[in-house]
Amino acid sequence: MRRALVAVLLVVLAACTRVGQETHGTGTLVVALRQEPIALNPLLLEGLPAYTVSELFYSYLTNYDANGNVVPDLATYTVGPGNQTITYHLRHGVTWQDGAPLTSRDVVFSYHAVMNPANNLEQRYGFDRVASVTAPDPYTVVVRTKIPFSPIIGWFFGGDNNYAILPAHLLASEKNLNSVSFNAAPIGSGPYRLERWDHGSRLTLRANPTYYAGKPAIDQLVLPFIADSATTINELHSGELDAAFVLDASRIAELRAIPNHRVVVTPVPWFYGLAFNLEDPIVSDRTVREAFALAIDRRSLTRKISQGVYDADTGMRGLFTWAFDPRADTIAFDPARAKALLTQDGWIPGPDGIRVKNGHRLRIELILPTGSDMTTRFATAIAAGERVVGIDVPMRRYDRTQYISRDGPEMQGHYQVSLYDYQASQDPDASWLLSCDQKAPSGFDIARYCSAKVDALLRQGAATFDRAQRIAAYHAVQQKIAYDLPYFFICQISEVDVIPSNLRGYARPLLSPFASVASWKL
């Protein structure tokens, strides 16, 4: 999700010159995507598939560097008095891949495409804080927000949003973008252009010779769709593949043993978490939610399942990044207390150990997406721990694409507790996950959480560019949600990448492993 509903994408790099082979040149890199995208228009995608498409084919106004600093992509910017006006100054000489100039008209069009209700977008957070977007000249864009909103830099075609700038001269006449031919044959402004899409098989890309930062050194990217992670890792060991991104952390020792490669482990704004559906009659009871959380030994589970790569003590940092409060989330594994709370709440153990209240068994279904062994292992361990305290936790699995879709169980509220590996944003504004106006399906608040106090604190944190004031507000948010428990943070995720020792220009990922693709060299 963007943001909060985000799919884990396995990407594998394999140069035509295999490790130890000399039969091909170094002009081709094969990057295997675990899931074929439904389109090559980022407005119709979410999570890592959207970032992949955006970073390869398109451009943003601003982006982040590997250290989380805002850097220009197509534009520099200034913030006006009152923090409600941002003026962007576009690069001159940037063109679309068909030769047309990229101007402020494209930015204005892209904003209206995002806000067009006829377009099937998963979320519009950030953009919905905008009052107007104007273009006083071809290289100036003025954005005015409804209220002071400092996260706008990351969200308005910036590094925190997977929506990139689209070409007005090709799309402005369309009533909506849901089924246009552009979605399968895009014309972008990014470092690579589409050469061929063999549906069900692969994408083939060529370096864009007119890219504003210069033609990428690697001339061709071939992106086959490979679903099986074991196959990917086996081919890394055999030398059939050169590198891989977003790998299974439980295989870290095996990955570190691959010759002529290096493993890069990067804590990222991702986290494993449980969402409680607060509209469900059972889990809407905070006592039940607290008991459920107390029954989870997240430190032990995280250490065992991720082989020590993920961190159970910094789960909230995966959401709040530089505003993380390590004192907020203090729920510790305590099954005895979980049992006592449930008994006090009227849930009495039945003959088989499962608790009963008013003739109803304490049965709480846990949903999870398919496609990740680690997610399955977390879910299985959680269910086992809940049974110890008297909660029956059957599991229901959904295809990952269905799981996060607008019609899926999370967005439509057809679940009790969900487990997911969330991708958040570098800016610590968590309104997209927590504020009342972002309740799913209108936004990504899939817990259906609404707190006037949290909303006020989120507005306070977003109203200023002063980092100390923002940290204070977000610390208070963390204290409040740690008590209310709409979400339970299991651990912060670290991205595990394996790259060839000779791959130059690779920058550690912040939100996308493809962010530095234009600089890669073999």
pTM of the model: 0.86
Helix (H) or strand (E) holding 110: helix 104-115
Looking at the fold, whether 351 and 490 belong to one and the same domain comes out as yes
The last residue of one of the domains, among 164, 196, 224, is 224
Q: What is the pLDDT of residue 235?
A: 80
Domain count, the chain: 2
72: domain CATH number is 3.40.190.10
Distance, C-alpha 16 to centroid of its chain: 30
Q: What's the rounded Cα separation, in Å, for the pair 238 and 18?
A: 10
The dihedral built from the CA positions of residue 422, 415, 332 and 306, taken in this order, carries a sign that is negative
Domain boundary among 169, 203, 224: 224
Same-domain pairing of 204 and 281 = no
> How far is it, in rounded angstroms, from Cα 440 to Cα 438?
6
Per-residue 3-state assignment (H helix, E strand, C coil) for 357-412: ECCEECECCEEEECCCHHHHHHHHHHHHHHHHCCCECCEEEECHHHHHCCCCHHHH
The tally of CA atoms less than 13 A away on the side-chain side of residue 203 is 24
Identify whether residues 196 and 306 lie together within a single domain: no
Distance of CA 509 to the CA centre of its chain: 12
CA dihedral 508, 512, 518, 522 (to 10 degrees): 50
Residues 305 and 451 in one domain: yes
Together in a domain, 333 and 274: yes
Q: Are residues 303 and 160 located together in one domain of the fold? A: no
Grouping H, G, I as helix, E, B as strand and the rest as coil, residue 434 is helix
Task: Choose among 160, 154, 158, 110: nearest CA to 135.
Answer: 110
**Judgement on whether residues 216 and 283 belong to the same structural domain of the protein:** no
- Calculate helix-pair angle for 298-305, 373-388, nearest 10 degrees: 150
Q: Is there a single domain that holds both residue 287 and residue 188?
A: no
Query: What gap in Å lies between CA 309 and CA 94, rounded to an integer?
Result: 41
Beta-sheet strands, E only, within 116-171: 130-137, 140-145
Residue 289 lies in a domain: yes
Residue 26 lies in a domain: no
What residue numbers bound the domain in which 387 lies? 268-495
In a domain, 262, yes or no: no
**Three-state SS at 139:** coil
Contact 388, 335 (CB under 8 A): yes
Task: Measure the CA–CA gap between 296 and 95, rounded to whole angstroms.
Answer: 53
Strand duo 62-64 + 70-72: pairing: antiparallel
Residue 191 preceded by cis peptide, ω within 30: no
Consecutive H or E run containing 224 = strand 220-224
Check if the beta carbon of residue 147 is closer than 8 Å to that of residue 84: yes
Q: Domain check: are 214 and 277 in the same one? A: no
- 57 and 199 share one domain: yes
Instruction: For the chain, list residues with pLDDT below 70.
Output: 1-26
Of the residues 168, 201, 224, the one at which a domain ends: 224
Q: Interior CA angle at 51 toward 50 and 56, to 5°? A: 105
Model pLDDT, residue 173: 97
Amino acid 510: pLDDT? 84
Helix (H, G, I), strand (E, B) or coil at 130: strand
Cβ contacts of 105 within 8 Å, gap of 6 or more: 135, 138, 168
pLDDT at residue 21 in the model: 34
The CATH number of residue 423's host domain is: 3.10.105.10
In the numeric block, the tokens 């130059």 are attached to 504
Residue 477: per-residue pLDDT: 98
**In the structure encoding, which two tokens stand for residue 137, read together?**
């000249």
Q: Which pLDDT score is estimated for 233?
A: 83
Q: How many CA atoms lie within 13 A of 207 on its CB side?
A: 18
Residues 475, 328 contacting (CB under 8 angstroms): yes
pLDDT of 26 reads: 56
